[in-house]
Structure formats: structure tokens, C-alpha cells
Amino acid sequence: MTEISQVREFAQRVVENVECVIVDKHATVEMAVVGLLSQGHLLIEDVPGVGKTMLARSLARSIGCSFGRVQFTPDMLPSDVTGVSIFNQMTQEFEFRPGPVMSQIVLVDEINRATPKTQAALLEAMEERQITVDGKTHPLPRPFMVLATQNPIEYEGTFPLPEAQLDRFLLRISVGYPSPTKEIDILDQQQFHHPMEDLEPVVSLEEVLAAQEAIKSIYVSPAVKQYIVALINQTRRHDDVYLGASPRGSLALYRTGQALAAVCGREFVLPDDVKRLAMPVLAHRIIVSPGAQLRDLSSASVLEGILKELPIPEGDVEAMGRQRPAGMPSG
């Protein structure tokens, strides 16, 4: 079995296990696994009660990781997230008491309800995989993933995420309502107990780390790289965009494209992978101009227009997998 087929089997096991809890949301669950494989962080934005917290908990339980949860509130301090140094009178030394961010999977519930100062406590952790408390740096465990939730409807008592914070989220996804038929299945499923109680790990930590390394060997042809960069540059030059996607957005499309290709069992990335990932990867990184806002244009609608107008790389898509340079290892 090749490395890529192992990654595909890994993804299938995790997705199927999470779907025991999250019903009728295959694309959303698959995107969460793509985020995991890409070593990125997820922003789950949706209305209350659709399963945002359950998605995070079931993903953590499926891969057997340590799980930390932070319920953000306006009175929360940065030390409530990162941890604090406490003086031990017995040893006459300061001891570090780690906060919930020192877990492998961290659920930050209602991230926009904390003050900017507390939100900023996550910046170093998300980007550099470490935290600094009282001048001392503490590395975070591997794998490390932040899954943050926020309600896009209720704005009272909230603090909008700054662009620097939003840009650190690899993907922004939503769960959405189930279909009426599937909602009846949910009622039947939870009649006596919650399916989360029966959820067991289906992959080991070693398999998670191996899969994260394996996707890096997925081939991205020059044509697909040019397509990624052209898409990013269009967001910067568009008349209705005040601030386009940064180079971090290019890297995010590149890495998630590799992960999605591996989940699909391919050893190379297609333009269709980039198009599918463009909305969850880029929409939250774009700020539309004031004039566009007056016309009720959103970043998603602007990005949709860019994707329609931008020419897709020509040629046989299967040939993109055969452009691998000589000597480059396959999956």
C-alpha cells in the first residue's frame, strides 16, 4: 500500500467515525480532516445548535488526542488560555501551570466574545506552535490544532476578530442545518443517549503525524501553482476589494490542495481542488471595499466572480500528474 492510499484510508476512517455524531454533513467533516492533515486551524462559523462543538469534540476523540476547551467570555484573561506561573513555597520556585491551549486539539468556543487582548493570546500559539509566559517559551504538543466557533448572527457583546487573527485560520467552514429526513434520524439516534458516548479513536497519533508528513509529497504542477498565484493576485487587484489575500493565503491553498488530493486518493493536485478550496480558504481573508459593502457585496460573492472569470489551466488534467520531474518520489 502506497503512502497516498494510506492517507486516503486514514481520512475515510476518521470521516466515517465523526459522521457517527455529525449527520448528513460529509463535505464539512471532510474539510475538517483536510485542515487536520494540513496542520492548520479551523474557524467554524454558524448559528447555535447545529453541531459546531460536537464536530470539534468528535474529531479530537476520533484521533485519540488530548482535548482542551476554552469558553471565551468578556471577563476572560490571557492567562486563562495560556496558563500561569505560580510560586511554590515548598520549592521556593515558580512553577508553570499550563492552560487549556497546551492540548493537542483546542476548542475555543465563541471566540468573538473575548476581548482583543485575550484573543491575541492565541496568535503566537496558532502561528509558531508555542506560547510565552513570563518570558519563558513553552512548545505546544504535536499535532496542534485550534477549532474556534463563532455565531455570525448575534453581534451584541462581541468583539470582531482582527485580520491578523482571521488570517491565521487555514479554513473557515460552516455546518448548516440537516435535511428534514436526516433531522428525524438525529432524533431517533439520540433518543436514549448521545452517540458521542460510544465514539472511540480509530487512528493513532503516530498515524496522524505520518499522514501530515505524507501529503507534502503530493505533486503540484507549475500550471496549478500559477493558477493559485493568479487567483490570489486577482483578489488584490479587484475593484471591489479593499484588502486581498496575503501570501499566507497562497500557502494555505497549496497545502490544502495537497491534502484534498490525498484524501481523494490522487498523487497530484487538480485545478478543481483549488476551486473547491477557494471559498473556505480565502473568503475570510478578503476585505471588500466600502463601496462594495453599500451594494451588499460580500467577500464570498466577489470571490465567486473571480473564480468564474479566471481561466482554468488548459490541457489534459491527468497529464498534470505525469509532469512530475524525474527523480521526484511518488506517493
Each residue of 260-290: pLDDT tens digit?
999 999 999 999 999 999 999 999 999 999 9
State pTM to two decimals: 0.88
Query: Which residue's C-alpha cell is 476548542?
Result: 107
The per-residue pLDDT for 48 is 84
Cα–Cα distance for residue pair 87/92, rounded to 1 Å: 7
DSSP type of residue 114? S
Res 117: pLDDT: 87
Above 50 in pLDDT, residue 330?
A: no
End-to-end CA distance of the chain: 10
> E strands, the chain, where?
42-45, 67-71, 83-88, 93-98, 105-109, 130-133, 136-139, 145-150, 171-173, 241-243, 287-288
Q: Which pLDDT score is estimated for 321? A: 56
What whole-number percentage of the chain has pLDDT above 70?
Answer: 93
| pLDDT digits 0-9 by tens, 21-37 | 998 899 999 999 999 99
Mean pLDDT, residues 64-75 taken together: 89
Report in angstroms the alpha-carbon separations of 289 from 152, 242, 307. 20, 4, 19
C-alpha cell at 252: 494555505
d(CA 131, CA 52): 26
Q: Could you say which architecture CATH assigns to the domain 218-322?
A: Orthogonal Bundle (1.10)
Q: Which CATH superfamily is domain 3-75+102-211 in?
A: P-loop containing nucleotide triphosphate hydrolases (3.40.50.300)
- Average pLDDT of the chain is 88
Average pLDDT over residues 300-311: 92
- Looking at the chain, the domain(s) classified CATH 1.10.8.80 span 218-322
Judge residue 116's burial from the number of C-beta atoms within 10 Å of its C-beta, 0-12 exposed, 13-18 middle, 19 or more buried. exposed
Q: How confident is the model at residue 319 (pLDDT cuts 50, 70, 90)?
A: low
CATH 3.40.50.300 placement within the chain = 3-75+102-211
Tens of pLDDT, residues 146-174? 999 988 876 666 788 888 888 999 999 99
